[in-house]
Structure 1
Amino acid sequence: MTGREIREKYLKFFEERGHQILPSASLIPHNDPSILWTAAGMVPFKPFFTGQAVSEYKRVTTCQKCIRTPDIEVVGRTARHHTFFEMLGNFSFGDYFKEKAIPWAWEFVTEHLGLPKEKLWITIYLDDDEAFEIWHKVVGVPAERIVRMGKDTNFWEIGVGPCGPCSEIYVDLGEARGCGSPDCRVGCDCDRFLEIWNLVFIQFFRDEEGNYSPLKNKGIDTGMGLERVASVLQNVASNFDTDLFREIMDYTADLAGQKYGQNENIDLALKVIADHCRAVTFAVGDGALPGNEGRGYVIRRLLRRAVRFGRVLGVKEPFLYKVSQAVIQQMQTAYPELKQKAEHILRVISTEEERFLETLAAGSDILSALISEAKAAGASEISGDDAFKLYDTFGFPLELTQEIAGEQGLGVDVDGFAAAMEEQRKRARSARQETEYLSEKGVMYKALREELGENRFMGYGTLTTDSNVLALLKDGLQEISAEAGEEVEIILDVTPCYAESGGQVADIAVLRGKDVEVEITSVSRPVEGLIVHRGKVLSGVLKRHDAVKVEVAKVRRQDIARNHSATHLLHKALKEVLGEHVNQAGSLVEPDRLRFDFTHYAAVTPEELARIEALVNEAVLANLPIEVFETSLAKAKEMGAAALFGEKYGKQVRVVKMGEFSMELCGGTHLTSTAEVGLFKIVNETSVGAGLRRIEAVTGLGVLRHLAAKEAQLQEVAAVIKSPIHELVRRAEGLVQHNKALEQEIENLRNKLAKSEVQEILGQVQQIKGVPVLAAVVAAPDMDNLRGMVDMLRDKLGSGVILLGSAAGEKVNLVAAVTKDLLSRGLHAGNLVKEIAKVVGGGGGGRPDMAQAGGKEPAKLQEAITKVASVVEAQIK
């Protein structure tokens, strides 16, 4: 049975039992900053298990794409470790429980997958007698094949929140796959007993003190690893030998002119490349981009590791984007977003791959310098720290460093490398955050919502409501009243205030009641169905159950709506001008500006920016009607409405349509006509990461303020250079030309002075053990001039050692050179300048023939120059 057939069979099985098939959620968790990746099938449904949100469906089934990265280094070395994998799951939110989940699991694995019943073993939690009864009496599993296990393996919980016991299904793969121990049984670390499915019974709530209380609405959360099941059904020894990997591995092998199954190192490289390329392809498709931190760093590390293993195959040109094409080809039926994003995915991967190959070249230069330094110092090996820096900074595998160093007769401190690697792992482990289902504060808000009921947002149609105060909170505790000067959280039955979400900032408002006035400064939605207002009581006393009137700041709301509507026009214009690969990657909508992040591979040119700005303003001046309506998600997609990638939408969605120009799903507040935007002006375009750009813009009165500021700047410049505004360009060009002429004249004078000084200091050459040595303090304004003087002196000397120093303000510059004929005598410019720099409170280094350094104590420069002779004498062999 192929991986595709297993996937389809599983989803169909649960669909026939009343489950809604949902597409896989994005690998980038939506609205969950506590985790980097979607690492399990239940992650997208966390709010439903916690009660933070209510699912439209009681029963759901998915095939969820997942990424886990704690064991990157062992991928390919074991049969089961992966960074990217697919998790089949069925979920119940307060509907069925163990009585259905257990028999269905048994039916599927025995009747639909055809696994022999006598090969299956079951684990349950120690005291879960209910599960035992169902497995034994209802399903018919012999009692001796049901194993009770402890909390560490068979009880699921993470911090505060819903939790419960687990039950797992294991397959006995036979004695030949075992460890040979007479004690080998379920739970052994060997490969004989393979867990394929875990059923989690969400039935308790764990509080901060560690107490467990039964949940009113119990849940089911199951996970079956597709790759593992495929390995059993295809009767292969490892997940990598299934069709899910072999197609990609065979493609890579053909690309490299290699064969799988003939060489251990080649096999390892093919496995790592297949695994990492799957992860990178899917992650980039979901909006992740290579970077230096967070998930961007994970992508960069996986991609670079795959490229490095390409060298094991003998591939030194960019190739990973081709492997990615094979991944897309294989997986696009199950995950159609891969095909839609193919151009973007391949562009990102090929760009990053080319950059890394350049980095590898730079690393080779660094390693050459380290080898020269080690030889000059009489060392027999490259230090572990240096080898690790090459690995961590430039992506050099230890094996490559050992190979290159070995060619030069040097070893590598492998133990030191391992120690540095372990230190990094410790730092990574300590930095890894524990993921909680729901924070303590979230639990409190959820309880409030259950107590008070959901409150309603009325602000799409009105900026004023008559409301009732349902609750007041101070420091997380409910209060009866709040007096003037106190800050308080307020929960109303209805509100016109927009809670911050989707990049749009919250409204501010005034709440007035009998003899009381409150300034609302922020509005949030901590759990679905509950809007919380934070404010300060300005006068009087606000009491629970007060009848109040709430008024949103109208002008500010209108300014926000201008900027929000403008982001929709901008998004469409970007696609028109730059291409369909452009997608929104984040936004900020405030009253005085908008910020829009989007995927693109290069800086947007001034000409492109002008076209984008013109397109938006054309749409503004066209006075297009802005229609807002609700419809089904399927209907919205059929109409061509753009959705924010990775966003989770319910059955009913809100569509914002601007004439025939733009149509997007959006929950924000908008204008009624594009003409109300007034004007649109881009004020900045920058990079915010690899393949990620940012545009900042203003609208309406913000444009007038921007233009007024620019005009004031022009007036100021005109006054400074004494020119009318209409002649500024001509006058500025004249000044630039005049300035260039003066700079050239100064440079010519400097060169004459330098030549003169060079002739003068040549008389200071001294002989040390037959080596001409010249050390002097000179007048050079910067490092470039100092290097120029050293070059001239080296040409004049022909053979010798030179070290020049100059003081520039509070800084000291040092440059050293050793002519190539003297390198064999142990002389090393990098080591020389590093030693001399210590005298002036600095540091530096470089190649054996040329190096530079800096310092911060100009008063000690002469002392440093005096020391040159003794350092050179010590170096000479």
Structure 2
Amino acid sequence: MLTTNEIRTTFLEYFAGKGHQIVPSSSLVPRNDPTLLFTNAGMVQFKNVFTGQETRPYSRATTAQKVVRAGGKHNDLDNVGYTARHHTFFEMMGNFSFGDYFKPEAIELAWTLVTKNFGLPKDKLLVTVFSEDEDAAGLWRSIAGLDDSRIIRIPTSDNFWRMGDTGPCGPCSEIFFDHGPDVPGGPPGSPDEDGDRFVEIWNLVFMQYFEDPPGVRSPLPRPSIDTGLGLERFAAIMQGKRDNYDTDTFVALTQASADLTHQSVDGPFKASHRVVADHLRSTAFLIADGVLPSKDGRGYVLRRIMRRAMRHLHMMGTREPVFYKLLPVLIQQMGQAYPELVQGEALIRETMRGEEERFKAMLDRGLGLLAEETDKLTPGAALPGDVAFRLYDTFGFPLDLTQDALRGSGHPVDVEGFDAAMTVQRERARASWVGSGDTALETVWFEARDKFGASEFLGYSTEQADGEVQAVVVGNGFVKEAPVGAEVAVLLNQTPFYGESGGQAGDTGTLTANGLRIAVTDTQKKAGDLIVHYGTVTEGTLRPGQAVTATVDHDRRSAIRAHHSATHLLHEALRRKLGTHVAQKGSLNTPDRLRFDVSQPRPITAEELAEVEAEVNRLIRENSQVLTRSMTPEEAVAEGAMALFGEKYGDEVRVVSMGGADGNKSAWSIELCGGTHVNRTGDIGQFRITAENGVSAGVRRIEAVAGKAAETLSLANEQRLNQMAAMMKVSVADAPERLALLLEERRTMERQISQLQRQLAAGNAASAGVEDVGGVRLASRNVGDTAPRELKGLAETILKQGNADVVVLISTAGDKGSVVAAVAPETVEKVDAVALVRAASVAMGGKGGGGRRDMAQAGGPNAGAADAALTAVREALAGAA
């Protein structure tokens, strides 16, 4: 018996031997189709290849594609665990031809693999074709040897595939396995086709037309092939089972659930074990692909899946978090084929455990409320919508979890009432935001939020993705189109662009489509959780409804990430060096620098800064993984995470851990942060502090650079040092000693010059003679470029000679006027030096000066008015005398 892993390997190796490129599974979060919540088919990653928008270096491909169907039009969640073949997560095997081979080769490849390589009996197989596709019917007869009784013609759209209302399309052909007459059910196309006797195992799509407009088809110049074989269904057939949950992978998972809960696999909780096994797979793979539980979008679907599994575990008697304990079994089963499970094990485990801890805290109370309310209902009556909403809003019960809990009770849920209560809450939240005292946000974005919901941010795991244009704003209003040159604000349903928040600058980049290009110059958050792209239409005409490829400027994002992650390390290094009083008071992370404000009562010394810088660089060299988890703010703070200044946190927060291997309390840095970060601390490169200064009482500001910006600074400093060494004609190693010698020589020369200037000035002042002003002997002089700091000493020297009662000197050094007045002790009673310098200052355009009655100084910007200042001194002295 082939295991599921062996079947997957056999399939891929078979097509690889037929010239097909084995292409790894794409992410469960589709990057090239904004209409999809999750990747729901194998062809999704090749969509642009089929439409001609993208080319690959190969024309044949084969994949094992991860698929989730738990939201949107492909939603199997309600049936999972209660049927034989419904799953939220499954694998779609496929082979693809991009204009290479067509129907004959596709049918031959499929038939050979199924009957020869896998050895299924030919008499157990039958096929369907589109009723108008005689080519396919003839090929099945000639290649497979099937007679018309085993080639069923289906006239409906079930056997005609379309990518959309317009675009590539073509007929299908399906291979079915017959379990035998003892199993209820009829062949495809019959009234009993929903039975279990005939099981579809493979669908071959013959992409041969292009439809545009709807209903009008033209032949494709290069017909292509898209196939899909459901691995779980095929494994059941290969292992002689009629139920997917009886295959080896699911048996291992359901048995692990039974061992954990001490409930029999086939007992009264059989369906619960199956729910747990299926949901474990979708949970782990979604988290591995960057989805975290939240209240919106993909994160909300993940939370629904997780909490549904957790409720079933609770039903089986578990009272502590246990869901995450099943992860090693899943990794053992699927980790080799999908290494992202191994790489993301720590994040997956912690996310699962944290979500179950939160859910467990409210589950008993929520189920208690549900029991109280259902006891009040008459048989068959619906649970009121406001009660279902209270379970959602207060206890975190998604609507479908409440519906699942009521399964078999005969009580549906008033969904319309639930939706009405949700609308009331949104209106209340909007009114609360507007009146909260924050910056008033544009009404237009609240309208967009109400209409479209929150933007889905994909930028934690990718820098390029397709999005659908939901709204275009020019000025202060929505527009139906924006031509070339228009300055626009664009809202997408999903985007990799980060909207400025938490100190991290918004992304720049491009939005493109065929004939359309928007240069995005900034990205901002509006109305709480809308991500709005600001830019200019440089090509084409932008309209709502268009699909565009959003591409973030990679180099700029990488530089921002390096600075943001370095800020986290800097914060913790400061706290460990200076004390826990250090708290963030503001930050800025841009491509070329970081700015970080912290509470700190005194300047940080150069030695302390050097130690902090060295510690950050040590953590960078450690190259530890940067881990992200989702939890409540309270739980995060309880684990030691630091909340950031000025941030507003909702029910869910991202917790970023650095400097530790497992992302828990042993991590070196743990912070609440919604920004983007490097994958490993080594990705920061290097870190350099460039400045430290005060910005307000008790707040110090550190400026620094990281990554490429730090490299640029280091190179520039090295070049400057080399230039200085060359100018001094010494080696770089000898430059400090040579510079110190030159500075000492300069100080010696300055002292000598100062002494000569004083002697010269004193001699000039003395030789100027002394004049009598109102009976007071005045010695005054403009001493030219003499340094202002020398004036006081000169005045005291002249006054000590005893030839004058008052000395007034003015310097015009630096094109500014500086004045000093000195008054002999016996003259102080009659003359005030302060009054004299103030008079001189006013004459030179100043505003007065200060000092004592016997010695004062002042200045003014107009050095050319020095003589007028001396005249003003004489007049003031005459008045005082």
- What's the TM-score bracket when you normalise by the shorter of the two chains? 0.5 to 0.7
Question: Is contact 2:125-2:177 (8 Å) kept?
Answer: yes
Aligned to 1:92: 97
| Residue type at the aligned position of 1:173 | H
Aligned to 2:816: none
The alignment status of 1:694 with 2:639, answered yes or no, reads: no
Aligned to 2:79: 74
The verdict on how the C-alpha distance between 1:254 and 1:503 changes in structure 2, with shifts beyond 3 A counting, is same
SS of the equivalent of 2:226 reads: strand
Q: Where in structure 2 are the equivalents of 1:165-564 lying within 5 Å?
A: 165-179=171-185, 185=190, 188-261=193-266, 263=267, 265-363=268-366, 366=369, 384-385=384-385, 388-389=388-389, 392-393=392-393, 394=395, 417-420=412-415, 487=486, 503=497, 524=510, 526-527=512-513, 564=558
**Shift in Å at residue 151 of structure 1?**
3.5
| Residue type at the aligned position of 2:510 | S
Structure with larger Rg:
2
Aligned to 1:599: none
Separation (CA, whole Å) in 2 of partners of 1:534 and 1:313: 52
**Shift in Å at residue 63 of structure 1?**
0.5
What CA deviation, in whole Å up to 9, does each residue of 1:801-857 have, x standing for no partner? xxxxxxxxxxxxxxxxxxxxxxxxxxxxxxxxxxxxxxxxxxxxxxxxxxxxxxxxx
**Shift in Å at residue 109 of structure 1?**
0.5
Separation (CA, whole Å) in 1 of partners of 2:172 and 2:401: 45
| Residue type at the aligned position of 2:202 | W
**Shift in Å at residue 116 of structure 1?**
0.7
The verdict on how the C-alpha distance between 1:8 and 1:322 changes in structure 2, with shifts beyond 3 A counting, is same
* TM-score normalised per structure 1: 0.52
**Shift in Å at residue 191 of structure 1?**
0.7
Separation (CA, whole Å) in 2 of partners of 1:154 and 1:87: 18
Separation (CA, whole Å) in 2 of partners of 1:441 and 1:361: 43
**Shift in Å at residue 566 of structure 1?**
4.1
Aligned to 1:56: 57
Question: Is contact 2:114-2:120 (8 Å) kept?
Answer: yes
Separation (CA, whole Å) in 2 of partners of 1:347 and 1:172: 44
Question: Is contact 1:80-1:228 (8 Å) kept?
Answer: yes
**Shift in Å at residue 52 of structure 1?**
1.8
Aligned to 1:117: 122
The verdict on how the C-alpha distance between 1:525 and 1:709 changes in structure 2, with shifts beyond 3 A counting, is farther
Q: Where in structure 2 are the equivalents of 1:606-755 lying within 5 Å?
A: 689-691=652-654, 694=673, 710-711=695-696
Aligned to 1:19: 20
Aligned to 1:3: 4
**Shift in Å at residue 152 of structure 1?**
2.1
Separation (CA, whole Å) in 2 of partners of 1:229 and 1:576: 54
Separation (CA, whole Å) in 1 of partners of 2:211 and 2:610: 57
Question: Is contact 1:20-1:59 (8 Å) kept?
Answer: yes
| Residue type at the aligned position of 2:218 | S
What CA deviation, in whole Å up to 9, does each residue of 1:364-410 have, x standing for no partner? 564587699x69xx999995446644664536799999999xxxxxx
- Which 5+ residue runs of structure 2 have no aligned equivalent? 424-450, 455-464, 471-479, 489-493, 501-506, 522-537, 541-552, 573-587, 629-643, 656-671, 678-683, 701-881
SS of the equivalent of 2:364 reads: helix
The verdict on how the C-alpha distance between 1:704 and 1:11 changes in structure 2, with shifts beyond 3 A counting, is closer
The verdict on how the C-alpha distance between 1:713 and 1:307 changes in structure 2, with shifts beyond 3 A counting, is same
Separation (CA, whole Å) in 1 of partners of 2:403 and 2:64: 43
**Shift in Å at residue 208 of structure 1?**
3.8
Question: Is contact 1:27-1:37 (8 Å) kept?
Answer: yes
Separation (CA, whole Å) in 2 of partners of 1:642 and 1:202: 44
The verdict on how the C-alpha distance between 1:256 and 1:45 changes in structure 2, with shifts beyond 3 A counting, is same
Question: Is contact 1:102-1:134 (8 Å) kept?
Answer: yes
What CA deviation, in whole Å up to 9, does each residue of 1:10-61 have, x standing for no partner? 0000000111112111111125332211111111111111122112221111
Question: Is contact 1:199-1:220 (8 Å) kept?
Answer: yes
Separation (CA, whole Å) in 2 of partners of 1:641 and 1:91: 40
Question: Is contact 1:161-1:207 (8 Å) kept?
Answer: yes
Aligned to 1:565: 559
Question: Is contact 2:92-2:231 (8 Å) kept?
Answer: yes
Separation (CA, whole Å) in 1 of partners of 2:419 and 2:22: 41
**Shift in Å at residue 362 of structure 1?**
3.5
What CA deviation, in whole Å up to 9, does each residue of 1:584-604 have, x standing for no partner? xxxx99779999xxxxxxxx9
Separation (CA, whole Å) in 2 of partners of 1:283 and 1:182: 36
Separation (CA, whole Å) in 2 of partners of 1:329 and 1:475: 53
What CA deviation, in whole Å up to 9, does each residue of 1:570-611 have, x standing for no partner? 558879999xxxxxxxxx99779999xxxxxxxx999xxx9x
SS of the equivalent of 1:417 reads: coil
**Shift in Å at residue 71 of structure 1?**
2.5
SS of the equivalent of 2:269 reads: helix
Separation (CA, whole Å) in 2 of partners of 1:14 and 1:161: 27
Separation (CA, whole Å) in 2 of partners of 1:571 and 1:86: 36
Separation (CA, whole Å) in 2 of partners of 1:565 and 1:533: 19
- Structure number with greater CO (CA < 8 Å, separation at least 6) is 1
Work out the number of aligned pairs and report it.
542
Of the three residues 107, 124, 135, the one matched with 1:102 is: 107
Question: Is contact 2:287-2:348 (8 Å) kept?
Answer: yes
Separation (CA, whole Å) in 1 of partners of 2:147 and 2:112: 16
| Residue type at the aligned position of 2:274 | K
Question: Is contact 1:170-1:186 (8 Å) kept?
Answer: no
The verdict on how the C-alpha distance between 1:315 and 1:214 changes in structure 2, with shifts beyond 3 A counting, is same
Separation (CA, whole Å) in 1 of partners of 2:509 and 2:187: 64
**Shift in Å at residue 413 of structure 1?**
12
**Shift in Å at residue 501 of structure 1?**
9.5
**Shift in Å at residue 213 of structure 1?**
1.8
The verdict on how the C-alpha distance between 1:224 and 1:615 changes in structure 2, with shifts beyond 3 A counting, is farther
**Shift in Å at residue 237 of structure 1?**
2.1
The verdict on how the C-alpha distance between 1:141 and 1:237 changes in structure 2, with shifts beyond 3 A counting, is same
SS of the equivalent of 1:56 reads: coil
Separation (CA, whole Å) in 2 of partners of 1:403 and 1:132: 44
**What is the root-mean-square deviation of aligned Cα atoms in Å?**
5.6
What CA deviation, in whole Å up to 9, does each residue of 1:756-794 have, x standing for no partner? xxxxxxxxxxxxxxxxxxxxxxxxxxxxxxxxxxxxxxx
Aligned to 1:128: 133
Aligned to 1:83: 88
The verdict on how the C-alpha distance between 1:115 and 1:164 changes in structure 2, with shifts beyond 3 A counting, is same
Separation (CA, whole Å) in 2 of partners of 1:337 and 1:605: 41
Separation (CA, whole Å) in 1 of partners of 2:96 and 2:214: 28
SS of the equivalent of 1:109 reads: helix
SS of the equivalent of 2:93 reads: strand
What CA deviation, in whole Å up to 9, does each residue of 1:403-445 have, x standing for no partner? 99xxxxxx999565344499779x99x9999xxx999999xxx
The verdict on how the C-alpha distance between 1:209 and 1:156 changes in structure 2, with shifts beyond 3 A counting, is closer
What CA deviation, in whole Å up to 9, does each residue of 1:234-279 have, x standing for no partner? 1112100111201000111111112222x3x311111111111111
Aligned to 1:832: none
SS of the equivalent of 1:283 reads: helix
Separation (CA, whole Å) in 2 of partners of 1:216 and 1:272: 46
Aligned to 1:456: none
The verdict on how the C-alpha distance between 1:525 and 1:384 changes in structure 2, with shifts beyond 3 A counting, is closer
